[in-house]
Copies of this chain bind each other. A is one copy, B any other.
């Protein structure tokens, strides 16, 4: 198991691991008034994504977040709203090092009123690196257990130079002999806590980074661990854009086509499923039955599918879609990410005029307004049926393009619209 991988030997206590997240920065490089860790991505603050990434790792027992006094209330609301667990909030210091030190103090056993336990190993991570994976966390923890300190590194993207006093090039550094020091880092708690206790005021203000403090004050040489590109730090506005696109891409990997339970009765629903599979590369298309008893949908939701295409055939009501919406609402799926639901309506243009049908369906707008409050983005999509085979294929391909656009953009400005394939 991961716990034994993280250092526990048979018959011994599992390794106690906690994490400290300094989040007191004011984001002056961003060019935006909100500190970057609180900037919204799909309406959720960046720091919540980072907390989610750490929470997923079951062997991290406590997560201590240091935020400035004025943000403590906001931080507590975030924890509550997004159902975060194992999080303690402490007040940040005026520098990054002082914030980390405050987090470590909260974990130290000599705090009388604390519910936290002193861990053997502590991870230090940034609130603005939301894409950290369990594997690199595990690697730095194991290396810290052995070496006392460890940190993730990356190759340099740019050449690093040393300027002379007159603003000219003194020399370029050899790129192959240097690395960028990134996060996460991990330490034996006693090593890093000792380093901070010994640390000079000057280093608490201006010191470069934790690995260097462990070296300077505890003579602990950190083990360096190669990290992946997604450890990057959200620093500039462009990084927020990149983070949003990455998050949108990740939650757009799966689509579930929801049909009535009666197998074989909805060939056109299955046709749509097939076209989605062939047209949308890199997307996993599954199908699920609406019948509560089957448990299909609950299973699919538990596997974090955030996109649903609900097939309604020859009806002007939203019965199927309504069933789906209540299952999604009950599941809490939309707490962390906006869920896209496309209510697809196959209808016979010969028996009902398009215009009539559209009028019937216009009340999808009211519906959409309602579920929008619970972070569900509902749109309608009309497909003419029956048509001759070639035209139907063309309509289904068009439907796939529209569905892909709605899922990709996840723009709440388009909810309640009735689109036509």
* In the complex, chain B residues whose CB is within 8 Å of the CB of A69: none
Inter-subunit contact B177/A162 (CB<8 Å): yes
Cα of A226 to Cα of B309 in the assembled complex, Å: 51
- Segment with Cβ contacts to B, from A193-201, A227-235, A316-324, A339-347: A227-235
* In the complex, chain B residues whose CB is within 8 Å of the CB of A243: 238
Mark contacts of A348-366 with chain B using CB atoms, 8 A cut-off: 1 yes-contact digit, 0 otherwise: 0000011110110010010
- Segment with Cβ contacts to B, from A1-9, A257-265, A298-306, A409-417: A409-417
Inter-subunit contact A181/B177 (CB<8 Å): no
Query: Which one, B169, B224, B353, B417, contacts A222 given CB within 8 A?
Result: B169
Is A389 close to B, CB under 8 A?
Answer: no
* In the complex, chain B residues whose CB is within 8 Å of the CB of A172: 181, 208-209, 211-212, 215
* In the complex, chain B residues whose CB is within 8 Å of the CB of A29: 229
* In the complex, chain B residues whose CB is within 8 Å of the CB of A238: 229-230, 232, 239, 242-243, 245-246
Q: Which of A389-421 contact B (CB under 8 A)?
A: 401-402, 404-405, 408-409, 411-414, 417-420
CB distance from A237 to the nearest CB of B (A): 8
Q: Give the one of A177, A212, A354, A412 with max B CB within 10 A.
A: A212
CB distance from A148 to the nearest CB of B (A): 10
Cα of A93 to Cα of B355 in the assembled complex, Å: 62
* In the complex, chain B residues whose CB is within 8 Å of the CB of A412: 405
* In the complex, chain B residues whose CB is within 8 Å of the CB of A365: 420
- Segment with Cβ contacts to B, from A52-60, A111-119, A149-157: A149-157
Is A86 close to B, CB under 8 A?
Answer: no
Is A271 close to B, CB under 8 A?
Answer: no
* In the complex, chain B residues whose CB is within 8 Å of the CB of A217: none
Inter-subunit contact B181/A168 (CB<8 Å): no
Cα of A405 to Cα of B354 in the assembled complex, Å: 26
Inter-subunit contact A156/B161 (CB<8 Å): no
Q: Which of A171-200 contact B (CB under 8 A)?
A: 171-175, 177-182
- Do A169 and B221 contact each other (CB < 8 Å), given the known contacts A157-B233, A242-B239, A411-B408? yes
* In the complex, chain B residues whose CB is within 8 Å of the CB of A413: 401-402, 404-405
Number of copies: 2
Cα of A223 to Cα of B163 in the assembled complex, Å: 9
Inter-subunit contact B354/A224 (CB<8 Å): no
- Do A241 and B233 contact each other (CB < 8 Å), given the known contacts A160-B181, A180-B160, A418-B420? no
Inter-subunit contact B167/A224 (CB<8 Å): yes
Is A82 close to B, CB under 8 A?
Answer: no
Cα of A73 to Cα of B169 in the assembled complex, Å: 39
Is A158 close to B, CB under 8 A?
Answer: yes
Inter-subunit contact B241/A236 (CB<8 Å): no
CB distance from A169 to the nearest CB of B (A): 4
Inter-subunit contact A222/B168 (CB<8 Å): yes
Inter-subunit contact A235/B157 (CB<8 Å): yes
Q: Which residue of B lies closest to A357 (CB)?
A: B355
Inter-subunit contact A163/B153 (CB<8 Å): yes
Cα of A158 to Cα of B162 in the assembled complex, Å: 15
Chain A to chain B contacts (Cβ below 8 Å), 15 pairs: A157-B233, A159-B208, A162-B177, A163-B224, A168-B221, A168-B222, A168-B224, A172-B212, A229-B236, A232-B238, A354-B358, A362-B420, A365-B420, A405-B411, A405-B412
Extra pairs beyond A159-B181, A174-B208, A402-B413 (20, CB < 8 Å): A147-B168, A156-B160, A157-B233, A158-B180, A160-B160, A162-B178, A168-B221, A168-B224, A169-B222, A170-B221, A229-B236, A229-B238, A238-B239, A242-B242, A354-B355, A355-B355, A362-B420, A401-B413, A404-B413, A417-B420
Q: Which 5 A-B pairs have the closest CB atoms?
A: A405-B413, A355-B355, A241-B245, A238-B242, A158-B180
